[in-house]
């Protein structure tokens, strides 16, 4: 799927309905008017779909996002919401938590937009008149990331939350640059064999760190932890002094933002306690380019690791079993 990511990104945005802001629904006597001003965006979804929220949250550390983005990975919505737009993302459309959140949003009178390949989420929303962006398929939810992310960015543009249009192509360049780094990805994967990777990221790259951890879990069937600094520099880092076997520290560093400061101090402290961190520099001229480079490159690392370990990367049986029990 990875070589298809640039075209997946481009194709998926064609399916965002033009008339999103003119939709008006009446559900249980409540009118839901999509043209009204919103004061927050809730992005709800799980796993490979939910990470879209984390990525957009990262981007809003750089972009001028007009309202707060609330990332919800739960079957409920926070109580405190006033006038949110709810974007319910589920690749399969059959994830119980996301369907429950979307239903709760509609029953509370909030505008909801689904992003999915179909499934029950599409049926539930369409039956109530709520819009659904139908996206192209991939081999598994996580391999369809650009098809989940790009329409969501367009939705944010349509609701005046962020100006994304001029950056979309740079994100695709980020994917293409990463795709050229196969040898580097294999080298990094080799260094991770027989380890529990500790992924260090800064707050504004949290999504890249979470995605890397999730891909390690799902592609390589590997445990991993994410430490987000500055906070992780006030707790996780204390554990570097232990002789706990198998930990391998990976520090992911973005360009031109305040990570520069953390780059030096974090590496310095980890190294002075004998950790020998592996440094991964993210490349890109725009926030989206950097983010897409990071998620693509690190995803390739996890596929290379799966291959080195002789692990089948696509299937995730324990996830499937749990989802079947929930549905």
| Cα(84)–Cα(209) distance, integer angstroms | 27
Using CB under 6 A as the binding rule, whether residue 319 contacts ligand F6R is answered as yes
| Cα(290)–Cα(105) distance, integer angstroms | 33
Taking the least distance from each CB to ligand F6R, the nearer of 284 and 313 is 313
Taking the least distance from each CB to ligand F6R, the nearer of 32 and 138 is 138
Among the residue ranges 53-61, 86-94, 203-211, 297-305, the one whose residues contact ligand F6R (CB under 6 A): 86-94
- Alpha-carbon torsion (151, 154, 160, 161), positive or negative: positive
Using CB under 6 A as the binding rule, whether residue 219 contacts ligand F6R is answered as no
Could you tell me the smallest distance in angstroms from the CB atom of residue 260 to ligand F6R? 32
Taking the least distance from each CB to ligand F6R, the nearer of 224 and 286 is 224
Q: Per CB under 6 A, which of residues 24..63 are in contact with ligand F6R? A: 46-49
Could you tell me the smallest distance in angstroms from the CB atom of residue 97 to ligand F6R? 8
Could you tell me the smallest distance in angstroms from the CB atom of residue 203 to ligand F6R? 23
- What x/- string results for residues 288 through 307 when contact with ligand F6R is judged by CB under 6 A? --------------------
Cβ atoms of residues 23 and 129 within 8 Å: yes
Could you tell me the smallest distance in angstroms from the CB atom of residue 194 to ligand F6R? 25
Taking the least distance from each CB to ligand F6R, the nearer of 210 and 229 is 210
- What x/- string results for residues 101 through 140 when contact with ligand F6R is judged by CB under 6 A? ---------------------------------------x
For residue 230, whether the previous peptide bond is cis, meaning omega lies within 30 degrees of 0, is yes
Residue in 87, 80, 102, 202 with CA at minimum distance from that of residue 149: 87
Q: What is the DSSP letter of 277?
A: P
Residue in 248, 249, 252 with CA at minimum distance from that of residue 295: 252
| Cα(238)–Cα(195) distance, integer angstroms | 19
Contacts of 137 (CB under 8 A, 6+ apart): 117, 144
Residue in 33, 115, 107, 39 with CA at minimum distance from that of residue 76: 107
Could you tell me the smallest distance in angstroms from the CB atom of residue 288 to ligand F6R? 21
Q: What is the DSSP letter of 33?
A: E
In the complex, the residues that contact ligand F6R under the rule CB under 6 A are 46-49, 90-92, 95, 98, 140-142, 218, 316, 319
């Amino acid at each position: 799927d990875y070589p298809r990511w640039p075209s997946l990104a481009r194709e998926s945005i064609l399916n965002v309905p033009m008339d999103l802001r003119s939709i008006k629904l009446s559900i249980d006597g409540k009118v839901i008017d999509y043209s009204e001003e919103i004061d927050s965006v809730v992005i709800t979804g799980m796993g490979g779909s939910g990470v879209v929220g984390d990525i957009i949250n990262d981007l809003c550390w750089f972009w001028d996002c007009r309202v707060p983005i609330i990332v919800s990975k739960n079957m409920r919505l926070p109580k405190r919401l006033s006038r949110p737009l709810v974007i319910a993302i589920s690749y399969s459309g059959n994830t119980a938590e996301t369907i429950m959140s979307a239903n709760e949003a509609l029953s509370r009178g909030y505008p909801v937009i689904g992003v999915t390949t179909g499934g029950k989420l599409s049926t539930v929303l369409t039956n109530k008149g709520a819009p659904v962006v139908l996206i192209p398929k991939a081999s598994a939810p996580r391999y369809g990331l650009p098809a989940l992310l790009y329409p969501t960015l367009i939705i944010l543009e349509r609701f005046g939350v962020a100006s994304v249009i001029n950056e979309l192509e740079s994100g695709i360049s980020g994917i293409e640059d990463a795709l050229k780094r196969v040898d580097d990805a294999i080298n990094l994967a080799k260094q991770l064999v027989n380890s529990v990777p500790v992924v260090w990221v800064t707050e504004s790259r949290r999504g890249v760190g979470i995605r890397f951890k999730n891909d390690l879990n799902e592609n390589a069937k590997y445990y991993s932890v994410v430490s987000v600094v500055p906070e992780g520099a006030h707790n996780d880092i204390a554990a570097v002094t232990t002789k706990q076997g198998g930990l391998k520290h990976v520090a992911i560093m973005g360009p031109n933002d305040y990570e520069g400061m953390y780059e030096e101090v974090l590496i310095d402290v980890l190294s002075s306690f004998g950790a020998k961190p592996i440094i991964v520099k993210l490349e890109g001229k725009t926030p989206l380019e950097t983010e897409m480079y990071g998620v693509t490159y690190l995803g390739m690392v996890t596929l290379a690791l799966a291959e080195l370990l002789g692990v089948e990367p696509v299937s995730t049986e324990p996830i499937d079993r749990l989802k079947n029990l929930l549905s």
